[in-house]
Structure 1
């Protein structure tokens, strides 16, 4: 079985989203899916904060950037830094989520992820921090336009950020995509069950079947195995 990638994560989300929308309609479906994304991202942000605190690092915006739990593969991302100080502004022209949804005709379901994920991640890390999302590609913008308020990426702070990315926390902050996908499947399922009760079981079964049809039963079992994991704690 191939290792999970960001594409697995992206398609899993879109299949869950599609199953919800097809079951309850777009209006309620969007609300439920976006609620699930917020819960998922808050948990991820809080884990990032726990790692930073464990290493004696303050919960600043530059440390938020340092403690991101994933790393793109070569060729997956295309972005440009427009400003560094006092606010960091980044335009993203290509990412694996947008690519996966576009290639599989799932943009209308995947796009909900991008509406909520970044703001909830930052809030989970530190409620006092702020990120502005001026547009995202899956929601009809030409590119994703993100402003990380008070990142203060001066030359000195950039050197510190590079050190953190490479040395401490370095690779220790990066979680495998199996973990991220298991987290997504569990947390989205929790929210959908809270909202829809017994109807949620069929929705999650449909999305799991879509996933296993593409990636195999062994990959699907990995998602199921993560349902006993506490994603509010460091692994």
Structure 2
């Protein structure tokens, strides 16, 4: 099976489950130090994604405004696994996610207690990776018993629905340039977490964490997906193509 075919089999579930399996392995094998590595790895992963978004924006001659952060997002929910509504367009653009594909995937596999660490650190660090001056206020998240994922983007507003519609149309037009598939995202997550595990826990401990998580991933998703993931993870995710 070629890369395109196997990549189509990756989505939020694979991404969510791998993350939770990594967190579980590090936490159970190395306790508080493993948990520190989990937190720092999630921060690293978020910052790297944000920086890649920034590099694409700058390459296009765009500034690193909060609105361009939204424009240059690296993923899109084409399969509608999540439900996100616009709660306010001004004075600060605010969204409410009432059904989350990541959260549901963690629940499905009995991994919510490990996966919900993601929600504490990922989005604020995506924003900071794009531009340290930008601010995202997170007022609740589903995975931590909130009524929704309530995100308020400071200094982002739209005068009316027509302006928001035009913005969304521009975002769709950039999709082929900005959006990466979930094989890429799952592998970049593995790469970032592994590098931080090595830095904090040491190479041997990092290998143990990753091999434990990969064994769990293989059991759930099979050898073909696992092989594709490990091959994809060999690239440098700190640069853009």
Q: TM-score, normalised by structure 2?
A: 0.91
In the aligned structure 2, how far is the partner of 1:135 from the partner of 1:101?
Answer: 18
Aligned residue pairs: how many? Answer: 233
What are the within-5 Å matches in structure 2 for residues 57-206 of structure 1?
Answer: 57-155=62-160, 157-167=163-173, 169-197=174-202, 198-206=204-212
* From 230, 237, 241, the counterpart of 1:231: 237
For structure 1, the 5+ residue unaligned runs are: none
CA contact (8 A) 1:46 1:124 kept: yes
Deviation string for 1:57-76 (max 9, x for gaps)? 22111111111111113331
CA contact (8 A) 1:85 1:150 kept: no
Deviation string for 1:81-114 (max 9, x for gaps)? 1111231111111111001001111011001111
CA contact (8 A) 1:69 1:174 kept: yes
- Higher alpha-carbon deviation: 104-113 or 59-68: 59-68
For structure 2, the 5+ residue unaligned runs are: 1-5
**Post-superposition offset of 1:231:** 1.0
**Post-superposition offset of 1:159:** 4.1
Aligned to 2:3: none
Deviation string for 1:131-178 (max 9, x for gaps)? 0111211122121111111112223642441232122x2332110111
Aligned to 1:208: 214
Q: TM-score, normalised by structure 1?
A: 0.94
Q: Does 1:21 align with 2:27?
A: yes
**Post-superposition offset of 1:203:** 1.1
Root-mean-square deviation over aligned CA pairs = 1.5
